[in-house]
Structure 1
Amino acid sequence: MADQFYLQDSRSYVGDGLTFHGKEHRGYYTDLDKCHLYTQEQACGHRDTDIPWPKDYIDARAHHGVDCQLMDEQANQAMLVPGCRVYVQVCGDWNGNDVYWVGAKSRGEVTENLDLAAEMEFEGASFMFADQAQSGQRKLWACADIDSIRRRLVHRHRVSIKDALRGTGIKLIKPKKPREMMFNCHGCGRFISDRQRFQHDCLNCGADNRP
């Protein structure tokens, strides 16, 4: 629907993943299926650090990723049987919580986007990546296992808030800059900022105001 919005908490990311307000306003998630949907009026009535994104725009640019915290090696081993299909994990690197996979285009390509990962026969992958699996650089995961825990998320480099809000009439409020803390110089009493007291001694009396 055109009048549905996700609400991003722009103060933080998980890797490249945007985080949004969760359902029933509980927590923040990269998993779009766990995120609350707002009307335009509701989405525009929050903090200046919250950004409304049209649902259709985000959904069109979402991909599937796999959170390493949900991966169960014991369950996976039971599913690695002759004839099964597998993905090949590139071990030792993550984008936030998301693991990397051998890409479908070539053995040298890696991607955190499961939609672009190579899907291979178990026997062929076991032979092809035997040495790297032995050294811990690659690991085989049953497609059936991974597909059951994958989630939809969207990365910041795939979206543009300017394009997303075009035609909606929504104008974002620029977040107010926090006021800088001020102190009195303990030598002469003049005002000095928190930043200035670390940069140099008081320019009026020469006092050192560092804590």
Structure 2
Amino acid sequence: MTDRFYMICTRDTVGSNASFWCHNGHGYNTNIEKAHVYTLVEAQSRWNTGRTIDQPVCADSVDALAVVHVDHQHVPGESVITPDCSKYVAFQKGRWDGNDLYWLRNGGLPTTDFTQATIFDRPGDTAELVWLPFATADAVKRRTFPIAMLDHRRMVQGAGLRVPAHISRARRRKPGTGKTRLNCPDCGRIHWQLNPYVFEGCADWQCAGARTHG
């Protein structure tokens, strides 16, 4: 494993794709090639002072799970037929995963994974499909990461990152109540309270924590 990390912005997911902080913090992009690369020390430091929606991840793990997609904004929306072309791909009209196209493939349902798209020697029916020269789509393909594949245990903690205290507190909060989940230091029972810093006492009157901390 190399000392390389990306920073995901979990708020700006596009379709099934994670969005990454771009080089030098210039916005977000689903294209892994545009992601800023941090060292472990840099990623941990940024996380320690960052927002709850920013998540550093091991770059090697992301790269290993990357899926090649094509953004519909970067290819023609109508069929392009050229006399000398002998390699075509076809995508479904009006169907997207975020911005990404669904490609025809032999023996299976349409897929957003461009590497699985079937290459045809000539275009076919154009009623529900758009046909493009393979080279046109191949020129704008990009590597993306499915946010559903994010494995915190393996790609975060397992890569050497440690969850900052303010992130842990945020994850323990009960939505809509302002309360934070704490465990009784005596019996381990879960306790919800408004004070996220000081344990206010166990709810079980038989627990020593009810007397010690109550």
| TM-score, normalising length: structure 1 | 0.71
Amino acid at match of 1:53: V
1:174 alignment partner, one of 168, 171, 185: 168
Deviation at 1:6, TM superposition (A): 0.6
2:30 corresponding residue in structure 1: 30
CA distance in 2 between counterparts of 1:103 and 1:158 reads 23
Deviation at 1:93, TM superposition (A): 0.8
CA distance in 2 between counterparts of 1:22 and 1:83 reads 36
1:88 corresponding residue in structure 2: 90
In percent, how many aligned pairs have the same letter?
25
1:57 alignment partner, one of 44, 56, 61: 61
2:191 corresponding residue in structure 1: none
Deviation at 1:120, TM superposition (A): 1.3
| TM-score, normalising length: structure 2 | 0.71
Deviates more, 1:61-70 or 1:83-92: 83-92
| Structure 2: gaps (5+ residues) | 179-214
Query: Is 1:66 the equivalent of 2:86?
Result: no
4+ residue segments displaced more than 6 Å: 178-181
Amino acid at match of 1:98: D
**1:102-140 deviation line (CA, Å, top 9, x unaligned):** 12334xx11111011111112xxx3xx32xx1x3x1111
Two-structure CA RMSD over aligned residues (Å): 2.3
2:181 corresponding residue in structure 1: none
- Secondary structure of the corresponding residue to residue 37 of structure 1: coil
CA distance in 2 between counterparts of 1:64 and 1:32 reads 10
Amino acid at match of 1:174: S
CA distance in 2 between counterparts of 1:149 and 1:85 reads 16
| Structure 1: gaps (5+ residues) | 182-211
Deviation at 1:147, TM superposition (A): 0.6
- Secondary structure of the corresponding residue to residue 100 of structure 1: strand
Amino acid at match of 2:104: V
CA contact 1:9–1:50 (8 Å) conserved in 2: yes
Corresponding residue pairs, total: 168
CA distance in 1 between counterparts of 2:95 and 2:57 reads 29
Distance 1:83 1:70, change over 3 A: closer
Query: Is 1:141 the equivalent of 2:132?
Result: yes
Deviation at 1:5, TM superposition (A): 0.4
